[in-house]
Structure 1
């Protein structure tokens, strides 16, 4: 199952790179996006990867505002948050994640990259991926950085991502996977209990090649 999905994802990336080259209004920063390849959680999709996956080849479609309003506001705020879906990280954190990423800015990595990803902190009805209590995170690491560790959090039952900004006190740490060798695809098994409806899975990925830290919000629905 994973092999089929990964192949399709790589095909989408190649196809949308061609689309990218045909959209001059996005400017040189968008055209440079593939050169800064790093990675993200692609299943359940991080917010900006999901917006790129659903709308990357149709991002000017006015229907997005009604069908996917949170992605619409993200594209309007800064399209490069989606073209650079693999670049949401902070360097030099020294393990002090809460000190560098304040409450309300978790999904943007503490307003990292000059605020490029700030739209991902917006409160509202983000599209969700259905999951069970036990599910698997798929990290696609284009640069094969590997990981010193991951911290996987899930919002507490009762927290409403559609009406409340995300803070550290809203999260429960559920998995702490350690070292992973460099690879394009890393899978993390996650076990939870007692959750229903819309939640946020917040993944901190500490890459192995340097003090580079990724902060990734995935919206899920436990049913």
Structure 2
């Protein structure tokens, strides 16, 4: 079940990235949190075991929880808040295989069991909800809540394709109090048995946390379960650093409430704009660069349409921002024979936000880039381009984002000479 590539990735990274969890004398991992309402599988089984144990050991009575303990032992229940991948960096769909979503590492693999008797929470479809998420060790970041599609079968392995294509709820840095994050949202109009899948991607680290909450939706007011039709193919006009998009409206039985614009970015497409109308502007792009965009419609009940067809557009030539609107700090904290680790910080020193940022530089001779975190880094014709992840793609004035990568080098690694941020030449610190 478990994705073997992740195990190899974690082992390879131990030399340059420390564990994000620490250990107390009992051997319990001090990790960072999990959904407590609606409860994740690990939290629900922990509570079931706590009640069954009568205040002593954990002795679950729920059949699915019992089966999970028989496979993986009780430690995942004591550590119900530690279902994480340290080096996720927003690449969830790339590093977690279908069937492993609820427990992407060996320790929590048993919580991928395809059973219909996991503990469930009954929720009213389309109703307001206050999500609660334990903050064992608080960190900033973004929480995305997905729900399974109509017709989902809990007795089959949970696949990425079983989830609706966009989250029905997203929040960045929710309120924190008494050791718990909480925020208000609206449930989708679903019926029957479903899974709410939550991803918490930290913004100060590539570490991400995952949880499956088993729920039963009862009928709510309105009962709108019909998704909008796909929007029309967008048309695009470009300048050197922005693209103006427009499209024909989607149809819906009740009414479309908003449109979400996405930029294609391999396995991790990035949402770059939201609009209540049929047009949007995407800024912070790089001159003379090809982009692909598509649009998804959303109604008030949270139903989302199929994506529109993709429009391809190339930005024009030009300098973008004035030079000096950004500053880059580049450091090499460690190096070894044939390789090195680099840390990069990018500060927006301008007066307007840089959205969907892209940092470019010429790779010094004899160097290569093998692995990156907190950004997607590609190399073509000797030029490296780093693009922000879904959780750090925009840089507000005065804000700094950071990422890192492992590289190869022939001899002592040299630092790049210059950087450009979305077409603007940056100062180097």
TM-score normalised according to structure 2 size: 0.40
Question: What is the alpha-carbon distance in structure 2 between the residues aligned to residue 36 and residue 138 of structure 1?
Answer: 19
C-alpha distance in 2, partners of 1:182/1:195? 29
Name 2:89's counterpart in structure 1: 94
Higher helix share: 1
Q: Is the contact between residue 29 and residue 80 of structure 1 (CA under 8 Å) also seen in structure 2?
A: no
What is the CA distance between 1:189 and its match in structure 2? 2.9
Give CA deviations for 1:148-175 in whole Å, capped at 9, x if unaligned.
21111011111021x2111111112212
For residues 59 and 141 of structure 2, the distance between their equivalents in structure 1, rounded to whole angstroms, comes to 42
Residue 111 (structure 2) pairs with residue 116 (structure 1): no
Q: Residue in 2 aligned with 1:138? A: 132
Report the Cα offset of residue 136 of structure 1. 2.5
Shift of 1:187: 1.8
CA distance in structure 1 between the partners assigned to 2:60 and 2:134 by the alignment = 29
Report the counterpart of residue 17 of structure 1 in structure 2: none
Does structure 1 conserve the Cα–Cα contact (< 8 Å) formed by 2:60 and 2:66? no
Q: Secondary structure at the match of 2:124?
A: coil
Q: Shift of residue 81 of structure 1?
A: 1.1
> Unmatched 5+ residue regions in structure 2?
1-22, 219-429
- Does residue 76 (structure 1) correspond to residue 67 (structure 2)? The answer is no
For structure 1, the residue ranges without an aligned partner over 5 or more in a row are 1-27
Aligned match of 2:146: 153
Q: Deviation of residue 62 (structure 1)?
A: 8.1
Bigger RCO of structures 1 and 2 (CA < 8 A, at least 6 apart): 1
Task: Spell out, residue by residue over 1:2-59, the C-alpha distance to the aligned partner (whole angstroms, 9 max, x if none).
Answer: xxxxxxxxxxxxxxxxxxxxxxxxxx999322x5142110111100111011113535
Distance 1:88 1:132, change over 3 A: same
What is the CA–CA distance in structure 1 between the aligned matches of 2:196 and 2:58, rounded to whole Å?
28
Q: What is the aligned-residue RMSD (CA, Å)?
A: 2.4
Larger Rg: 2
Q: Which structure 2 residues correspond to residues 188-207 of structure 1 after superposition, within 5 A?
A: 188-207=183-202
Structure-2 change in CA distance of 1:211 and 1:180 (3 Å): farther
Partner of residue 38, structure 2: 44
SS in 1 for 2:172: coil
Asked if 1:164 is matched to 2:156, the reply is yes
Deviations along 1:53-100, whole A, 9 cap, x unmatched? 111353579882xxx111011111221111110111001122111001
Question: How much has 1:132 moved relative to structure 2?
Answer: 1.5
The answer on whether the counterparts of 2:150 and 2:190 sit within 8 Å (CA) in structure 1 is yes
From the superposition, tell whether residues 32 and 191 of structure 1 become closer, same or farther in structure 2 (CA, over 3 Å). same
Aligned-partner Cα distance in 2 for 1:102–1:136: 30
Aligned residues: 186
Q: Which residue of 2 aligns with 1:222?
A: 217
In 1: Cα distance, 2:25 partner to 2:111 partner: 18
**Partner Cα distance (1:130, 1:181) in 2:** 25
1:30–1:83 contact (8 Å) kept in structure 2: no
